[in-house]
A and B are shown apart, each in its own frame.
Chain A
Amino acid sequence: MRQTGISPAQAVTQAIEGAAILFLAVIVSNFHIKLLENLLTPIFLPAAVLFLWPRQADYNTSLWLVFVAGLFQDLTSGTPAGLFALTWLLVWIIIHIDEPDRSVNFKSHWMTFAIIMVITLMISGVLSIIALQAFPSIFTLALQGFLSWLLYPIIHFGRVFVLRYIYGRYETG
């Protein structure tokens, strides 16, 4: 929420800050990782950035930026137009229906993110049935989701590092 002590301009800046990390995650999510002789692509990694979206970011700006980042992922990953744009928009709205409790420890964050990942997989699965007119492979979907969940700590601690050492902010969650 835009709390007292933060101007509208600062709230917009925080939304842009979140979007910058989101775009980075979208680019990273396009590159495959070789894991136990399998090629996996962490296409759902941006969900971690949505989960850790700056607390005081402007809502309206955030909505637009999340949608545009999703469109960018559609463009770069070759998925049907609108699939990730709509997925990330809906996931972001669901995550931010209520203020997530950021005072809890990392483990709880990671577990909560698992629930967010399941929601993400469900939304993207349903949308892909419409967009592709075919059922996606549940196994592959779950595997990609699991990989993105595994990579969550990188986004989490990377964000903590950036906030603490570059911006001087102590926002742990």
Chain B
Amino acid sequence: MGRFDNPRSEGRTRALRKTVVFLILIGVILILLGLNGRDPLESARPPAETFTARIGRIATMPVRGIENLASGFRDHFDTVEENRKLREENARLRSIVVEDAAVTEQVDYIKNLFGADIRTGVPEERLAARAISEINGPFVYSALIDAGQNKGVTEGSPVLTIHGLYGRVTRIGTGSARVLLLKDLNSRIAVMSPRSRARAILTGNNSDLPTLEFRGDGDWQVGDSVVSSGDDGVLPRGLPIGEVVGLEGGVLAVRLFSDRETVDWVTVRPFEPVLPPEENPIATSADQTIDQTGESEQP
């Protein structure tokens, strides 16, 4: 500590040492208090994030403008190739539309026949937001979006890019929300393969390829598409997530659809998670009856 205030008195040096030790202690205590998913600064985060989001909305404008300009130039030179690809894709999609109409007709018929309520649970409401800041590791994989309570974003809501699931909202501020990306170490999503209906948990590992854990005997193959299963009640069923890729040692990972291009705009789908049942549903129901009649039954 020889840089400032030289020559220092012995008393001042002692005071500085005390400050250093005190601040290091606070830092260590904060880290220890934050273990096991707790967050000692939880209440302070939303206002700080809203503040950063406000600045970011303005500050990132020129950067995004330059990026879009560069991307525009690249697109211009790739137009012929892009046009060919689009024609091919268009032809493929036309056949899918025809198939889709046929399947919808069949499903409607079965629905009417059995009176079944067949829904995927994917919310229809979509809130557009901009991903202002994306932290890509090494400690966290999260993003800050410029929509919060002001736009009706709710905690736990899935956030999607045009390609697929990006993450879910873990914290909401007035005008911003923190999105935990699927790659983050703390991310766990119940997923399934639409081909085999096999279930697994998509586990983030702070890398670009989250892995499929707890597969059991499920029939998973490289190339399978992965969608949310909705089994956890946290996310709706059927959100597109990615494609299975094989890693060394028989580990299966998922290449995320949301990684296909730089994330700028996202959509938030406000979703009400399935709540656990009440501890004593009969008692609750009886209480409601009492409330409605205004009388209580005497034993």
A residues lining the B interface (CB < 8 Å)? 1-2, 11, 27-28, 30-34, 39-41, 43, 55-60, 62-64, 67, 70-72, 74-83, 85-86, 89-90, 93, 96-99, 124-125, 127-128, 130-134, 136-138, 140-141, 144
Residues 51-79 of B contacting A (Cβ, < 8 Å): 51-52, 55-56, 59-60, 63, 67
A98, B263: Cα distance in complex, Å? 44
Task: Answer yes or no: B30 CB below 8 A from chain A CBs.
Answer: yes
Question: Which listed segment binds A: B33-41, B95-103, B145-153, B243-251?
Answer: B33-41
Contacts of B178 on A, CB cut-off 8 Å?
Answer: 78
Cβ-based interface call for B134 (8 A): yes
* B139 contact set on A, CB distance < 8 A: 79-80, 83, 124, 128, 131-132, 136
**In the complex, are the beta carbons of B67 and A31 less than 8 A apart?**
no
Could you say which interface size class chain B belongs to?
Answer: 35 or more
Question: What residues of chain B have their CB less than 8 Å away from a CB belonging to chain A?
Answer: 1-6, 15-16, 19-20, 23-24, 26-31, 33-35, 39-41, 44-45, 48-49, 51-52, 55-56, 59-60, 63, 67, 132-140, 142, 144, 178, 185, 206-207, 262-263
Closest chain A residue, CB of each to CB of B179: A78
Contact of A99 among B2, B45, B51 (CB under 8 A): B2
SS of A interface (majority): helix
**A81 CB contacts on chain B under 8 angstroms:** 30-31, 33-34, 39-41
Q: Which of the residues B5, B26, B263 comes within 8 Å of A2, measured between beta carbons?
A: B5
Contacts A67-B27, A75-B41, A81-B30 hold; do A27 and B52 have CB atoms under 8 A apart? yes
Nearest CB in chain A: distance from B52 CB, A: 4
Task: Report the minimal beta-carbon distance from A116 to chain B, rounded to whole angstroms.
Answer: 14
CB nearest neighbor in A for B42: A81
Q: Are A32 and B40 in contact (CB under 8 A)?
A: no
Say which residue of B19, B52, B134 sits within 8 Å of A32 (CB atoms): B134
